[in-house]
Chain A
């Protein structure tokens, strides 16, 4: 068995609002192995982004608070570290790229300034060396004429190019983990294909593990080794990507896969749709949050939450359908 690189255990992040406590993430656990690409899928508001901001301890507090759980990275709990220690991890061993590359780059500073700052902060390098390294990274992500382009401002790049700059910056310190939060959602399909290929290629070349957060099942299908499906702040299904698409177990996952129109299907059948809408996360009762929309809901689903349990080796699902009578107790 390979050694775990990152271990998230029972992570819970709540937000206090005027109308009540929002349990944005409520008991999320997963492991990340070296060189692995893990996908986290779910719809808006399911807690996928908050999970990953919590890993980096980037939750604005107040109103947010990490109320429980551990994030073990290289044997140490990140959540117990001080701000100063955290700063050495962020952008260094764990890097993030975000959905909108325009808002994550400083519009007033040249790309060179921003990239050199990151490198000098984390590595023992002079500014000149850092600039060389930055140019090298820009070449790696396919920016044409990087020696010239490095002195441009973010607005002088197109959306796809900006995302390339972000990737170059994120990987410039040889990160162990790259967290990509909807990295291609703001981009066109032809550009998306370029960026995904780039992330895939670089993560293999540099042996970086990737956590890919997305709402697009097609992206997960193409990129990820394993995947977690989230709903209402919890993981409802966790499996290897191939196994999950071959036979989704949770009714939500099944519904999600069936409700996407597909290019490869010939027959024009009516799309499956999950009726209703995701629940309000304020004061969520302790039952299965999906039961009002589930066509297989049973009595127990309305009263008790099904804990994520292993049903087959490497497959976990949080649904009463896969629990025997003893599990109900």
Chain B
């Protein structure tokens, strides 16, 4: 590790959504454990990819980091300061550095606002609260500059979102996220809704922006190939837990967790010569519901390598080498197994 402190540190983050029963008098009867105790760090200038299937808690993680949800438990340290316990005034100041890009470019832009208003909105809010000082002309100039930067002509600034295609809308979303010069961008499935030829345009734009502006990304996707392309490090999530986290190349070359192995073998490769010779690990069954408390490994029901021990003991995060951690009993020395 270098001497620099991590930009973002997440410690034992939990996000449980209550399940309520009753009409007038509501009582909590359970909880959806969307994110169930995850910890990781993100260093400045890197891209942490979070990959997993639907319902594994990857989007909830991003939203809990941005404080769009108040986490049930845990800490989110941005430059050493905890966002969860911050006062709202301080949070507003800090959140300038944390921006989001969303999956659906149709739903995440207000259809009654022009592109100019959409991109200028964060600038105007921060000018109004006095955190930033910008005149109307400066804002105007900044909007044009941002539009050109993401590949949109500034002559389009008075148009409405419906006049743009999906890819262009995603560019508007990116311009809005860049407006405040953030340090970290949480990109929640930013290319999943786009066609292949547009997807590569956006991926290239995001990596260019990162190089130019020294941005840090948390990039969420379900597509393993996209994650590999963009990420320096990758975290694999399953049922609200991180099962494996590693430097990107090592994870794809040498996946250790049985779930990561299955996920990698299931992702199709666009080459018939390779694709038809591959040995697939086909998992049985579906992802179980996250509404029960589990006392064993979360992957137990579907794991092709399960042992009796896994049923009753939650595997700890085991450090394999400097940059590779995995939560699986197969990789814990048997001498250290609890009885």
- Using a CB–CB cutoff of 8 Å, the interface residues on chain A facing chain B are 43-44, 158-161, 188-194, 197, 215-222, 241-242, 245-246, 255-257, 259-264, 268, 270-275, 277-278
Contact = CB atoms under 8 A, between A and B. Distances in A.
B226 interface: yes
A190 B228 CA distance: 18
B283 A245 contact: no
Contacts of B196: 43, 215, 217, 256, 259-260
Contacts of B276: 221-222
Interface stretch (B133-141, B175-183, B198-206, B324-332): B198-206
B69 interface: no
Nearest to A268: B229
Contacts of B272: 221-222, 241-242, 245
A53 B14 CA distance: 46
A264 B274 CA distance: 9
B270 A190 contact: no
B132 interface: no
B48 to A, nearest CB: 16
Contacts of A257: 270
Contact of A189 (B224, B270, B273): B224
Given A263-B224, A275-B201, 16 more contacts: A188-B53, A190-B266, A193-B283, A217-B196, A221-B272, A222-B275, A242-B273, A255-B197, A259-B196, A259-B199, A259-B200, A260-B225, A261-B225, A261-B228, A262-B269, A263-B269
A218 B267 contact: yes
A43 B195 contact: yes
B222 interface: yes
Interface residues of B, number: 44
Nearest to A272: B200
A263 B267 contact: yes
A217 B196 CA distance: 9
A263 B282 contact: no
21 contacts: A43-B196, A44-B195, A160-B286, A189-B224, A189-B263, A191-B286, A192-B266, A193-B266, A193-B280, A193-B283, A215-B196, A218-B268, A218-B269, A222-B268, A261-B228, A262-B270, A264-B269, A264-B271, A272-B200, A273-B200, A274-B201
Contacts of A278: 195
Select the residue from B198, B271, B284 with max chain A CB neighbours within 10 A.
Answer: B271
Contacts of B67: none
Contact of B282 (A193, A241, A271): A193
The 10 closest A-B pairs by CB, nearest first: A218-B268, A217-B270, A259-B200, A261-B229, A188-B53, A43-B195, A193-B266, A273-B200, A274-B197, A222-B275
Contact of B226 (A159, A221, A261): A261
A257 B270 CA distance: 7
Interface string B128-163: 000000000000000000000000000000000000
Nearest to B165: A277
A72 B109 CA distance: 46
Nearest to A43: B195
Contacts of A159: 286
Interface string B214-253: 0000000011111011000000000000000000000010
Contacts of B10: none
B270 A218 contact: yes
Select the residue from B195, B226, B276 with max chain A CB neighbours within 10 A.
Answer: B195
B227 to A, nearest CB: 9
B262 interface: yes
B228 A263 contact: yes
B264 A158 contact: no
Contacts of A219: 268
Contacts of A255: 197
Contacts of A193: 265-266, 280, 282-283
Select the residue from A160, A260, A268, A270 with max chain B CB neighbours within 10 A.
Answer: A260
Contacts of B226: 261
Contacts of A242: 272-273
Interface in B74-116: none
B186 to A, nearest CB: 20
B323 interface: no
A25 to B, nearest CB: 18
Contacts of A192: 266, 268
